Every structure is written in C-alpha cells, then in structure tokens.
Structure 1
Amino acid sequence: MQRVDLNSDLGESFGAYTIGQDDRVLEHVTSANIACGYHAGDHNVMARTVKLAADKGMGIGAHPGFPDLLGFGRRNIQTDHKDIYNFIVYQVAALNGFCQLHRVRMQHVKPHGALYNMAAKDRVIAEAIAEAIYDIDPSLILFGLSGSELIKAGKKLGLTVANEVFADRTYQPDGTLTPRSEANALIKESERATEQVIQMVKESKVIAVDGSHIPIEADTICVHGDSPTALSFVERLHAQLQVEGVTVTKVSDFLFK
C-alpha cells in the first residue's frame, strides 16, 4: 500500500498577531513544521503549538529560517556556512526544548522560505544545514525539495531524507518552485492543487509552468499554513488521497535509515 505524509508549516503567529488556523489544520495533517522564532513564532507560540501537535500524535519538526521577522523569512540573506550551521543548531535546539517538556520526540527538520529555496540549489548552504542536523541528532529526518541539493547533502551524510512536494505551488522546468514574485507562483484552487498532488504521488511527475513533465518523488506533501486556503486544501487532499488508496501517515511511520 502506498503511503505519504501530509505536512503544514505552523506556529507562525507572533505576539499579538495570529497567522493561520493551526488548531483546525492539525486535524487533517500528519506532520507539523513549527516555526522557531527567527522568521515567525515566539516562545509562547512554540510551546502552544508543540503541545497541540503532541496531543494529536503528529510528527513534530523544527522549521528554522533566516533571522527575518519583517520579511517572514522569504528574503534571501547572503551569509556563510558557519552562520547557517549555528542558527540551525540554535533554532532546532529551542524547539526541541519544548518537545522534551511535552515528552515527545522530534521527528524532522524542514528549513523555511528563502533558506529552503536557496538550499535547493546551493550545495554549500545545503551542506551547512545537513551538517547541523546530523550533529544535533543523526536520527532526525531532513525534509527537502524533491531531488534538490538539500536532499543530496542529507543523503551524503547518512541522514534519512524525505522528498517534499508542494500542493499550493507551481514548478519550474528545472524542478524548483516558481518564485513568489511571479504571478503564477501560487495555486489557489483546491481542486487544481489536489490534481497536482495526486499526479505527483501516483505517477511520480508534475507538470511545470511551461507544460513539461518533471520526474518527482513524493514522500511528504506541504500545504503552507499561512495561506488563507490552507484548511480547505488539507481537508480535500487528505480525503482524496484516501479515495485513491493512499494511506496518509506521518513520515517516520514509513521512512527508515
């Protein structure tokens, strides 16, 4: 039986500002990527979101990003290997503290936003991230864009990797995500998003913006939690995957080193 993980980026509220519908989205996903305070989230939001996810039996992951609250971590920052290594360690360790508090084991790490997209193409950035995760805990699963430099860096170190695909984003012919600065970057219709996901999961391919077919591997599917359509997307996706005979379960249930 085919199995796939359904994840969402959560815990992205900050102080008095609420982003997303975490409580409701958590009813339909199997893994939660929780912001660690650099691009979004704070200590109170992290504590609350870890508890919510733990109570629901989710696979819990750290979602570290660039130190960029103003830009929500979606602006490219030029820095070096050591800086990236250290801020990954800092953020993952912070979230792991709340995991320990609630007696739940952290399942994975997924970089956020610009850091994630840069690591998909840049080997040095990818290796800094993978090395930090390996040195913290080599049993952690590394989430990365399917077939990317980040996936390659994780495999090279011996980490378990999860190839990630996106329900709410379009793809370029080289397999990368269409930049958010372009008008066609986001998929806003749940029916179209579901069709794309089913094709990626069942046929191991996706249609790029130019109409070309790209081979793709789908271990985990992402829906961005800050999107207004997040709830409707995860509800429809979960239901349709089950109709297609695909079991939706957290990634640690079927990926092994």
Structure 2
Amino acid sequence: MNWANKRQFIIFGIVAVVVLVLALFYIVPRATRAPTCFDNKQNGNETGVDSGGDCPRFSPEEINEIGILWSRAFETTPNIFNVVAFIENRNPDGIVFEVPYVFKIFDKDNVFIADREGTTFIEPNKRSAIFEGNIDVGNRVPFRATFSFLESPQWIRVDRQILEDILIVVQDETLINTFTSPKLSATLTNNSLYNIPKLEVVAIIFDADDNAIAVSKTFVDVLKKKKSQKVFFTWPQPFEDTAVRIELIPRINIFEIDF
C-alpha cells in the first residue's frame, strides 16, 4: 500500500470513528432514557399512554364514572327556573379540572323547552350539586330536567394528604319565613390549612319525603384559613311544601387554591 492509499485509509478511519461516536452520543441516551408521564408512550408502570401507575392522569380502567343521582327544575318566579344536578364522584383521589355539561328542560309531553350549557370542575370523593339559574321558559310549564356531560372527563390524581387538609364546616343553619319570603342563613368555617378562593355554596331544601323543593346558590370570594363567614340565601316566592331538611354544599375548586 502506497502512502496515498494509507493516508486515505487513515482519513476514512478517523471519519468513521467520529461518525460512530456522534451516533452513539445521540442514540444511546434516547434508547436508555427513563420513562416519563409525558413521552406519549405506555412504559414504566403505566396502565395507559402516559396514564395510570405513578402518573397524575388516570387511565380509563382506574376510574369510577360520575353518578348523576337526580336533576330537577325549580320555579323561582313565573317563567323563570333554576336547575340542579345532584352528582356523586366515587373516586377518592380523582378530580376533573373542567368538563362541559348541558341541562335540558322538557314539558309533560316530553317536548323540549330550553337548555343551558356550562362547564364545571369535579371534586373528589363526594356528592355535589351543579347549579344553573334564571332560565327563562316563556309560557311553557317544565315537567322534567335532564343533565349530561358533553365530553368524557379528564381525570387527574391528587395527593390524598392535601385532600385531608381541606375542610369546610357548615353550622348554624337557620331557615325562616318558608311560606312567605324564605330566607336561609348559615356559618361556614374553613378548618383547612389553606385559604379557599371562589367558594361556591349550593343550598337544597327537602320536604318530608326527602324530595328537593327549592335550590339556590351563593359565592364567597375568599374564605381564609381558620376563619368563619356567614352566607345567606333568599327566595322570592314561598315554598309549596314544608321544609324538613337543609343541605348546604360548599364546592371547592382545588385548582384555585394556592398550596
């Protein structure tokens, strides 16, 4: 082999080594990269693509569907109705950031009257109430209301210890003037370790047969930790039946809390 051929061989060898080193530098880290919950693959202990196992997102088989226990329309003034859906989330540490829904109102002949769409969060491991107010039904008479979600909820896992540290206590419920101009007051106490912003509170009044006869909703801008605040509800018309039980439901959006 003459010197020219030797030099070409040496140059070729150097180039080959450089290419091999670069290839190994690029390929090996990717081939050995630890699985994550954001790599668009099912790996590690995941039970779905980037879901289940140690990932914050649940996979479908881990989730109990939300139970819609009942939905109803309630007259507030002539032609104006509120609607409520009473739901149950049976997932101890599963929450939903936002999911769209729709209420539909029908008359006794099952003819559609009106609808109302909205979005809501879903709290973990509790029964809750989704409220929409001031729906104008014209001269029609509502007979029933339906509620459904417009999309499949996207579930997120939350630390159970955080959930145990969030507690709102309802006390001193007082309902007066039920057959004239009903008024309800109560005290909310935040026994949590955190301030609770944008607290929504739904009131449901039940009769002796445990049927809901009236609903309302109010808001608390911020309920500070270890503090109490009074809340009030009013109705412009008397109740048609005797009020026997009160259920006040504070709705806490965990995504709004500054942990």
Q: Same fold (TM over 0.5)?
A: no
TM-score, normalised by the number of residues in structure 1: 0.22
Larger radius of gyration: 2
Bigger strand share: 2
Identify which of structures 1 and 2 has the higher relative contact order when contacts are C-alpha pairs closer than 8 Å and 6+ apart.
Answer: 1
Bigger helix share: 1
